Structure 1
Amino acid sequence: MSIADRVKSSPRLKSLVLYLLSVPGEARPRLWVKWFVNPFRHKYGRRSLVRWRTRMDVVPFNNFSLGAESVIEDYATVNNGMGDVHIGARTFVGISNVLIGPLRIGNDVIIAQNVVFSGLNHGYADLNIPIKDQPCTTAEIIIEDEAWIGANSVITAGVRVGRHAVVAGGSVVTKDVPPYTIVGGNPARALKQYRPETGQWERVK
């Protein structure tokens, strides 16, 4: 049994490791982890950039990667505590975005301001337990290459946004978005699709 498996199988040992790695009651790593562990554990591509006002709540027991020439702008928050976060090459993560794993973002993606990606959901079914204390479930969000996510949008757990798709500003995306499709609204619905036979973006009837 590996060390990681041993830790996961023992509640007491898992609690101890979490205490040593992260600030109690907060979803952020301790400073010693941020300074001396994460730089060697996580991957940053050539000429990638994380602005200094970004909150990087990334822990070493899950993965984080940022592709070549990608940028994470100021006031964004990245959290891999519940699942890996991978960002491809030449992707732009806008100001004040929130990225909560599990999340995989492809290459050449544009993400505008104040977008929320949350790969987790809190349980709420048991009325005898506060929602904050109930177990969380996770489902990976996938944003395929060349997608454009408009400002103030919310992408919920388990959603896949297809290649070269567009999410209009202010949308709440609760279902998969096909490639080459524009969606908008709350909940988001298809507005236009690219038709290869006409070479045009046409309204969805």
Structure 2
Amino acid sequence: MSLSDKIKSNPSFKKIAHWLMIPTGQHRPRLWIRMIVNPFKHKRGKNSIIRYRTRLDVFPYNHFDLGERSVIEDFSTINNGVGDVFIGDRTIIGMGNVVIGPVKIGNDVMFAQNVAVSGLNHGYKDVTTPPSVQKVETAQITIGDNVWIGANSVITAGVTLGKHVIIGGGSVVTKSIPDYSVAVGNPAKVVKKYNFETNNWEKA
């Protein structure tokens, strides 16, 4: 059994390890994790850029990978606390975005401003307990290659966006969207699909 498995299987060790990584009552890693551990644990592709004012709430017990020539712009937050975050090559995470794992983002993807992508949901079913302290639930979000997500959009847990999907600004995506589709609205619905026989985008 590895050291990490021993820690995970022992509640006392797990509590101590958690405290060493995260201050009590907070949700971001301690400075020593950010400065010493994360640079060796997480992968950053060649010529990738993470802007200075990005908040990286990433922990060593889950993955955070950033592909080659990808950019995370200022005022964004990346959080892998409850699930891995993978970002492909030549992908742009726009200003003010929030990305909470588990999330897998493909290559050549564009996020406009203030996009929220979260694979996390707080539990709420126990009415005797505040949602903030109930067990979280996670569901993988997968975003295919060549996707463009418009400003102020929300992608909810469990959603898959296929290849070359376009999400209109301000949309709330609660269900998966197939390849080569345009979806808009709250909840988002497909309004156009690409027809490879006519080589045109056509109304759905």
Q: Quote the Cα distance in structure 2 between the aligned partners of 1:96 and 1:155.
A: 15
Question: Which string of whole-angstrom CA distances, capped at 9 and with x for unpartnered residues, describes residues 76-123 of structure 1?
Answer: 000000000010000000000000000010000000000001101111
Alpha-carbon offset, residue 56 of structure 1 = 0.4
- CA-to-aligned-CA distance 1:58-91 (integer Å, 9 cap, x gap): 0111110100000000000000000000100000
SS at match of 1:163: coil
Amino acid at match of 2:99: L
- Is the aligned partner of 1:72 residue 2:72? yes
Mapped partners of 2:26, 2:163: distance in 1? 35
Query: What's the counterpart of residue 133 of structure 1?
Result: 133
Aligned pair count? Answer: 204
- RMSD over aligned CA atoms reads 0.7
Kindly provide the CA deviation profile for residues 113-134 of structure 1, in whole angstroms up to 9, marking residues without a partner as x.
0000110111111111111111
Equivalent position of 1:107 in the other structure = 107
Shift of 1:5: 1.6
CA distance in 1 between counterparts of 2:26 and 2:143 reads 27
SS class of match (2:175)? coil
Query: What residue identity is the alignment partner of 1:46?
Result: K
Cα distance in 1, alignment partners of residues 147 and 19 from structure 2 = 38
CA drift of 1:14 comes to 1.1
Q: TM-score, normalised by structure 1?
A: 0.98
Equivalent residue runs for 1:1-205 within 5 Å: 1-204=1-204
- 1:23 CA displacement: 2.2
Looking at structure 1, the residues matched to 161 and 197 of structure 2 have their Cα atoms a distance apart, in angstroms, of 23
Q: Give the aligned residue type for 2:79.
A: N
Give per-residue Cα distances to partners, 1:14-34, cap 9 Å, x unaligned.
111110011221211100111
Give 3-state SS (helix, strand or coil) of 2:13's partner.
Answer: helix
What is the rounded CA distance, in whole Å, between the counterparts of 2:155 and 2:71 in structure 1? 20
Structure 1 gaps of 5+ residues are none
**What is the CA-CA distance between 1:12 and the residue it aligns to?**
1.7
- Structure 1's consecutive aligned runs of 4 or more residues displaced over 2 angstroms after TM superposition are none
Specify the SS of the correspondent of 2:4: helix
